[in-house]
Amino acid sequence: MQKKIQSALISVYHKEGLDVIVKCLNDYGVKIYSTGGTYSFIDYLGISATKIEDLTGYPSILDGRVKTLHPKVFGGILSIRDSKEHVEQTNLYDIPSIDLVIVDLYPFEKTVENETDEDLIIEKIDIGGISLIRAAAKNYKDVLVVSNRDQYHDLHSILEENKCHTDLDTRKRFAKESFGVSSAYDTAIFNWFDDYQLSELKVSHSNGKALRYGENPHQKGIFFGDFDKMFDQLHGKEISYNNLLDIDAAVNLISEFDDTTLAILKHNNACGLASRGNLVEAWKDALAGDPVSAFGGIIIANRIIDYGTAEEMNKLFFEIIIAPDYTEEALNILKQKKNRIILVQKDFELDKTTYRTVLNGTLVQDRDSKIETSEDLQFVTDEKPKDSQIRDLLYANRIVKNTKSNAIVLVKDSQLLASGTGQTSRVDALKQAITKAKHFGFDLNGAVMA
């Protein structure tokens, strides 16, 4: 059912992009109610608006904590327009209908990121805004609610195309999105009060991205998270569910190493890895570890990809490459394959907690972020390992930590020689690793095992 917007309440923290909306509403003769800074913003545009305090008869009080919490505001939002009783009561108490509510919330999460002062954080817990959003969303049959500035473009298109009318499906969609906003907001507040101790599991991710499919073509897949905050995709096809699993495994693995290191992964496991004085040598030695499995794999490096390294890499078919950056010459080579995914890894921190669904529930644990050093080792043999062997043992341990169990990795001179992964016994994993190492011509004398 189409409804004409005749009145709007606008009270926002972020003003960017609001001017276009306000001018559009004014062009269609919509009566605007507003508060504080938003009123001043609208007034500056030369557009007439009514202050909320002129509607309610009460000023903003308690340092702005109470502005809109009043029956003349919430009655105008929550009244059911085709209810005789509601119409009688709103007429009796001189409560005007409000057909559009544009409200966003104080930036609580941003404040938590940048502030330690508890009083400042508390003041960024929105009360009036969240109440207005929930009220308008509840009464979506009569009211359109806009709870996020990201919706302004969509709103403007709707107003212009429909001459300031909205239909039920549109109002319900905006209401759904608004409850998503309020849910995420409350989750952030709860987790802060809980000091992130997980006394209850409250997780909220917005902007789910539909994937081509899940792990297999017959499965539906969605990614919830901010991929663009972690990576810039410079080239290639759309990223898939299995690509994301590989990227996650690669990022976790490379985070273990500070020296110039390059890794090749297949199905979440390293099939080649080496640390060298320069990247092209690291690539050659990583590839030597298992050039068969490397075909169609994923490459990750912790240094900028240069022309020489890209030229060598381009001799192999691989799906994804991740690095802190690329020279222009390197990119020109790597982009020769149309579907090859090229990612720039930004500076970001991995979540300190990991989650896994089991038995219709969720397992939660701390991320395994420990990187062992020589001080952590206890020597229980009469013959002590050499310094070079200790370095290789610690190196191997970082790899096996990121390899699917049962796992054995064989390392020498900061190079993965071979691995046995995902076996039902470590004996089988070891046999697999030894067979691979010999097949690719490695001498295991002096190698270490993790």
DSSP 31-67: EEEE-HHHHHHHHHTT---EEHHHHHS---BTTTTBS
| Measured distance CA(142)–CA(440) in Å, rounded | 71
Q: How many CB atoms lie within 10 A of CB 52?
A: 24
| Measured distance CA(217)–CA(221) in Å, rounded | 9
**Active-site hit among 267, 284, 335, 404:** 267
To the query of whether residue 138 is one of the catalytic residues in this protein, the response is: yes
Looking at residue 60, its pLDDT comes to: 80
- The crossing angle, in degrees rounded to 10, of helices 18-27 and 152-161 is 20
| Measured distance CA(426)–CA(449) in Å, rounded | 12
Residue 412 has pLDDT above 80, yes or no: yes
Closest Cα partner for 282 from 290, 274, 270?
274
To the query of whether residue 284 is one of the catalytic residues in this protein, the response is: no
**Tens of pLDDT, residues 78-89:** 999 999 999 999
Give the strands of the sheet with 416-420, arranged side by side: 416-420, 408-411, 448-449
| Measured distance CA(58)–CA(321) in Å, rounded | 61
Alpha carbons within 13 angstroms on the beta-carbon side of residue 281 total 9
Looking at residue 359, its pLDDT comes to: 95
**Which amino acid type is present at position 109?**
E
Confidence of residue 439 (pLDDT cuts 50, 70, 90): very high
Place of tokens 């507003």: 34
- The helix or strand, by DSSP H or E, that contains position 413, with its residue range, turns out to be none
**Active-site hit among 86, 124, 138, 237:** 138
Confidence of residue 336 (pLDDT cuts 50, 70, 90): very high
What values do phi and psi take at 336, rounded to 5? -65, -25
Answer for the pair 68, 44: CB distance below 8 angstroms, yes or no: no
**Which amino acid type is present at position 296?**
G
- Pairing between strand 50-51 and 3-4? unpaired
**Tens of pLDDT, residues 306-321:** 999 999 999 999 999 9
Mean pLDDT of 294-308: 97
DSSP states of 219-259:
S--EE-S-HHHHEEEEESS---HHHHHHHHHHHHHHTT--S
Looking at residue 40, its pLDDT comes to: 93
Burial of 139 (0-12, 13-18, 19+ CB in 10 A): buried
| Measured distance CA(341)–CA(318) in Å, rounded | 9
Residue 205 has pLDDT above 90, yes or no: no
